[in-house]
């Protein structure tokens, strides 16, 4: 078989970049193709947070954690999964993945101690200081440049090349026409299918009406290519939503504003559910209640969220309004002033322990006090969490559980660890963990196979 490169990586988000680095460092020749005009994908739009259970950074901070505790945390919120072995594997390699990012990639990652975020019982998220996924992507790209790994943007894969029962490369389309790249191994590191309305309606119908706010290009190619070669699928009904996309700005309002004691109200100025479901699980609840919602929080919470650059950019561009009283906030958004005042008063009674919350929320830290801040938000769909079923080294499996020769997958192309269906099982960092960990495992295994 004619071979142009040992390992061909399709997709230049965090998964593809990690796979290429690991394969190169394992001695393989590598090339990356990306259909968009710039790398990054959904990784660039994230907060760059990667959970690492038992990392040396946790130990330095005196935080006790383990893969077993992480598995227990994720199982508690996600419930049943089509692939418990994948969940165990991701927890097992989570700490070494974070340490590899710092030590080998030279990523500027730090343990977050200001909050745990949804799904985690201890502080195990590691992220850039800015809380911007683009900074992590930039560090991965710098590692690609140092290794002189070729990366071709604007090169869309039309189909996989399959010969003699194995994946042997891909058909590429660019502005210069169509060509073949042949490889011993192919790593699918493309996004999921959240930008394909038909696939979302088929697999994730409960969120099908939400706007898509993820990266362009999440059109489900991996699912279609996988079906053609007999790949198994897993956890196809799972997805990540976000209940606080600032409108009309399109940027994320930090969920810290809600998690630390803020609330969401509808157009009637009243709460409509238990916000402690988290930013992903609450997106469906918000979608059902109406077109818009309004996040309300106070100065104490503002100062916590102000540590995040994206939050302060939203402030800078007028996405967050400030007023001294609930009535003044209501006037800014044309809400019922009396209803909002009543909602705040009831919320504060819960915070003071004077009454139980009618929706069952138990994590209200303190009563809200002026000055108040508010932001108009809409629910969004960010990425799907189902995909191709893979083994312990990210090899794609067929419907009989056998590896498909020459094919690996990670990130949005592969099944995730957020449960079988819905958004309640998504914990902060799930997407980036499966992207970077599976990418690294795929690149490492592909290089080993080439050497063998």
What is the residue-averaged pLDDT of the chain? 95
Residue among 123, 135, 155, 156 at smallest CA distance from 14: 135
Q: What is the rounded average pLDDT of the residues 291-306?
A: 96
Same domain flag for 143 and 182: yes
d(CA 270, CA 274): 12
Domain final residue, candidates 380, 397, 422:
380
- Kindly indicate the confidence band of residue 1, based on its pLDDT and cuts at 50, 70 and 90: low
DSSP classification of residue 438:
H
Q: For residue 8, give the 3-state DSSP assignment.
A: strand
Span 15-60, pLDDT tens digits: 999 999 999 999 999 999 999 999 999 999 898 999 999 999 999 9
% pLDDT > 90, the chain: 90
Which class for 222: exposed (0-12), middle (13-18), buried (19 or more C-beta within 10 A)? buried
240, 418 contact by CB (below 8 A): yes
Span 341-365, pLDDT tens digits: 999 999 999 999 999 999 999 989 8
Worst-scoring range by mean pLDDT, 15-19, 395-399, 422-426?
Answer: 422-426
Residue among 331, 347, 200 at smallest CA distance from 274: 347
Helices (H) and strands (E) in the chain, counts: 15, 20
Q: For residue 394, give the 3-state DSSP assignment.
A: coil
Say what the pLDDT of residue 322 is.
98
Same domain flag for 121 and 149: yes
Alpha-carbon dihedral angle through residues 13, 18, 20, 22, given to the nearest 10 degrees: -170
Same domain flag for 61 and 146: yes
Kindly state whether residue 237 falls inside one of the protein's structural domains: no
The CATH number of whichever domain residue 119 belongs to comes to 3.50.50.60
Q: What is the rounded average pLDDT of the residues 95-109?
A: 98
Kindly state whether residue 220 falls inside one of the protein's structural domains: no
Q: What is the rounded average pLDDT of the residues 366-370?
A: 96
48, 135 contact by CB (below 8 A): yes
DSSP classification of residue 146:
H
Residue among 59, 34, 52 at smallest CA distance from 91: 52
Residue among 1, 10, 4, 89 at smallest CA distance from 443: 10
Same domain flag for 272 and 159: no
Is the pLDDT reported for residue 316 higher than 70?
yes
447, 27 contact by CB (below 8 A): yes
Is the pLDDT reported for residue 2 higher than 90?
no
- Gyration radius (Cα) of the chain, Å: 22
Span 274-295, pLDDT tens digits: 999 989 999 999 999 999 999 9
Domain final residue, candidates 321, 345, 380:
380
Say what the pLDDT of residue 308 is.
87
Kindly state whether residue 226 falls inside one of the protein's structural domains: no
Say what the pLDDT of residue 199 is.
95
The two three-digit tokens of residue 430, written as one number: 């799930």
Say what the pLDDT of residue 357 is.
97
Buried b (16+ CB within 10 A) or exposed e, 21-45: bbbbbbebbbbbbbbbeebbbbbbb
Say what the pLDDT of residue 134 is.
96
Worst-scoring range by mean pLDDT, 77-81, 107-111, 261-265, 371-375?
Answer: 77-81
Q: Which domain holds residue 356?
A: 242-380
- Kindly indicate the confidence band of residue 175, based on its pLDDT and cuts at 50, 70 and 90: confident
Same domain flag for 391 and 367: no
pTM over 0.85: yes
Kindly state whether residue 231 falls inside one of the protein's structural domains: no
Say what the pLDDT of residue 350 is.
96
417, 278 contact by CB (below 8 A): no
Buried b (16+ CB within 10 A) or exposed e, 404-432: bbbbbbbbbbbbbbbbbbbbbbbbbbbbb
Packing angle of the helix pair 84-100, 430-451 (nearest 10 deg): 80
Kindly state whether residue 212 falls inside one of the protein's structural domains: no
Same domain flag for 269 and 412: no
The CATH number of whichever domain residue 283 belongs to comes to 3.90.700.10
Same domain flag for 278 and 325: yes
Element (H, E) at 168: strand 166-174
Say what the pLDDT of residue 116 is.
75
278, 74 contact by CB (below 8 A): no
Span 122-170, pLDDT tens digits: 999 999 998 899 999 999 999 999 999 999 999 999 999 999 999 999 9
Peptide bond into 248 cis (omega under 30): yes
Domain final residue, candidates 357, 380, 403:
380
Same domain flag for 46 and 116: yes
Q: For residue 326, give the 3-state DSSP assignment.
A: helix
Q: How many domains does the chain have?
A: 2
**Please, what is the end-to-end C-alpha distance for the chain in angstroms?**
17
Same domain flag for 252 and 175: no
Q: How many CB atoms lie within 10 A of CB 314?
A: 20
Kindly state whether residue 430 falls inside one of the protein's structural domains: yes
Kindly state whether residue 102 falls inside one of the protein's structural domains: yes
Same domain flag for 145 and 277: no
Is the pLDDT reported for residue 115 higher than 90?
no
Same domain flag for 190 and 114: yes
The two three-digit tokens of residue 316, written as one number: 């800078």
Same domain flag for 275 and 413: no
Buried b (16+ CB within 10 A) or exposed e, 112-139: beebbbbbbebbbbbbbebbbbbbbbbb
Is the pLDDT reported for residue 400 higher than 70?
yes
Strand partners, 171: 159, 180
Kindly state whether residue 111 falls inside one of the protein's structural domains: yes
3-state SS, one letter per residue, for 201-261:
HHHCHHHCCCEECCCCCCCCHHHHHHHHCCECEECCEEEEEEEEEECCCCCECCCHHHHCC
């Amino acid at each position: 078989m004619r071979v142009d490169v040992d390992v061909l990586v399709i997709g230049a988000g965090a998964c593809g970049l990690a796979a290429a680095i690991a394969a190169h460092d394992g001695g393989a020749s590598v090339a990356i193709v990306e259909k968009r005009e710039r790398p990054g994908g959904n990784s660039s739009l994230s907060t760059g947070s990667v959970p690492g259970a038992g990392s040396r950074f946790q130990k330095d901070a005196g935080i006790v954690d383990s893969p077993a505790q992480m598995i227990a945390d994720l199982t508690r919120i996600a419930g049943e999964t089509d692939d418990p072995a994948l969940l165990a594997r991701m927890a097992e390699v989570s700490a070494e993945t974070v340490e590899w990012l710092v030590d080998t990639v030279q990523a500027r990652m730090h343990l977050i101690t200001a909050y745990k975020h949804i799904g985690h019982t201890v502080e195990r998220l590691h992220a850039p200081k800015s809380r911007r996924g683009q900074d992590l992507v930039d560090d991965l790209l710098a590692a690609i440049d140092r290794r002189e790994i070729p990366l071709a943007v604007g090169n869309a894969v039309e189909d996989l090349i399959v010969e003699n029962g194995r994946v042997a490369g891909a058909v590429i389309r660019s502005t210069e026409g169509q060509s073949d790249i042949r490889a011993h191994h192919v790593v699918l590191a493309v996004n999921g299918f959240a930008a394909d309305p038909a696939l979302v309606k088929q697999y994730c119908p409960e969120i099908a009406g939400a706007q898509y706010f993820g990266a362009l290009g999440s059109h489900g190619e991996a699912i279609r290519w996988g079906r053609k070669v007999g790949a198994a699928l897993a956890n196809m009904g799972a997805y990540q939503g976000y209940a606080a996309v600032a409108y009309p700005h399109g940027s994320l309002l930090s969920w810290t504003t809600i998690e630390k004691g803020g609330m969401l109200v509808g157009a009637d100025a009243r709460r409509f559910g238990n916000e402690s479901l988290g930013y992903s699980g609450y997106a469906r609840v918000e979608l059902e209640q109406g077109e818009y919602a309004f996040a309300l929080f106070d100065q104490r919470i503002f100062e916590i969220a102000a540590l995040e650059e994206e939050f302060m950019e939203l402030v800078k561009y007028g996405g967050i309004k400030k007023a001294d009283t609930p009535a003044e906030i209501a006037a800014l958004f044309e809400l019922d002033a009396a209803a909002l005042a009543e909602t705040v008063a009831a919320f504060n009674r819960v915070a003071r322990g004077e009454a139980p919350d009618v929706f069952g929320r138990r994590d209200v830290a303190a009563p809200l006090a002026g000055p108040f801040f508010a932001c108009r938000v809409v629910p969004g769909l960010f990425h799907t969490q189902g995909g191709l079923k893979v083994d312990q080294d990210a090899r794609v499996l067929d419907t009989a559980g056998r590896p498909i020769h020459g094919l690996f997958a990670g990130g949005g192309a592969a099944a995730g660890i957020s449960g079988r269906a819905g958004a309640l099982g998504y914990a902060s960092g799930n997407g980036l963990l499966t992207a970077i960990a599976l990418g690294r495992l795929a690149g490492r295994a592909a290089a080993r196979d080439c050497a063998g």
